[in-house]
Every structure is written in structure tokens, then in C-alpha cells.
Amino acid sequence: GPVAETFRVIQGAMTEEYVRSTQGIFQFELSGDGGGTWYIDLKTKGGSAGFGKPPVTADVVMSMSGADFVKMFTDKLKPFMAFMSGNSSIIGDMMLRLSLEKML
């Protein structure tokens, strides 16, 4: 589905440089289509992304619908706007969230 596809794209876009400069782990609690727990690991060597809990505790946890997640990563929805509209919640390090936005 679109959520799994988006994580495949993210995994493919990761660079060592980006992992080194970010040093953060993001967990996504997605509802609806393609829902469940997903993660982006930008801390461990090489980085990784996929379905399930991150290998170590996440620095940032975001909750939103699968549809909003896909929109966020295809740039149809700025992450900040999603949080302002109250459709999603974020717990954790705001600076890390901003660095994730740069990757998008």
C-alpha cells in the first residue's frame, strides 16, 4: 500500500551523512489504511526504516493517519500544518522533527 511504499522510498533516500547529522529515531503510530507502528532510524549506522517498533527507543513519536503520513512525505501536507490542525500528535524532540522535515 501507499504507506509501505513511502517507507521504501524513505529507506532508499537515506545516506550515511544524513544519519550522522540527524542522530534520531522516529516512531509513527499510524491509524487507518496501512496503519500500525512504523519507524525511521536515523541513528544506527546506515539507518533503516520499516514496519514495527524501532530497534531502540524512539526520540520522537508521531501519531497520525496513514493517509496524512503519505501526504506529509509526498509534500502535500507540511508536517507542521498537520500538527496545527490537530489531526496528529507528536511527542519528543522538536529539533529532531525539524531535521526530519529537511530530509523530506
- Delineate the domains of the chain, giving CATH numbers in brackets: 2-103 (3.30.1050.10)
User: pLDDT tens-digit profile of 6-63?
Assistant: 999 888 888 888 888 889 999 999 999 889 999 999 998 889 999 999 989 999 999 9
Secondary structure tally for the chain: helices H, strands E: 5, 5
Q: For residue 39, give the C-alpha cell.
A: 519507524
pLDDT of residue 93: 74
Check if the beta carbon of residue 54 is closer than 8 Å to that of residue 44: no
Higher pLDDT among residues 90 and 63, named by residue:
63
What are 56-89's pLDDT values in tens digits? 999 999 999 999 888 877 776 555 555 555 566 7
| Cα 53–Cα 17–Cα 13 angle in degrees, nearest 5 | 60
pTM metric for this prediction: 0.79
Q: How distant, in Å, are the alpha carbons of 19, 21, 76 from that of 68?
A: 24, 26, 9
What is the C-alpha to C-alpha distance for residues 98 and 91, in angstroms, rounded to an integer? Answer: 13
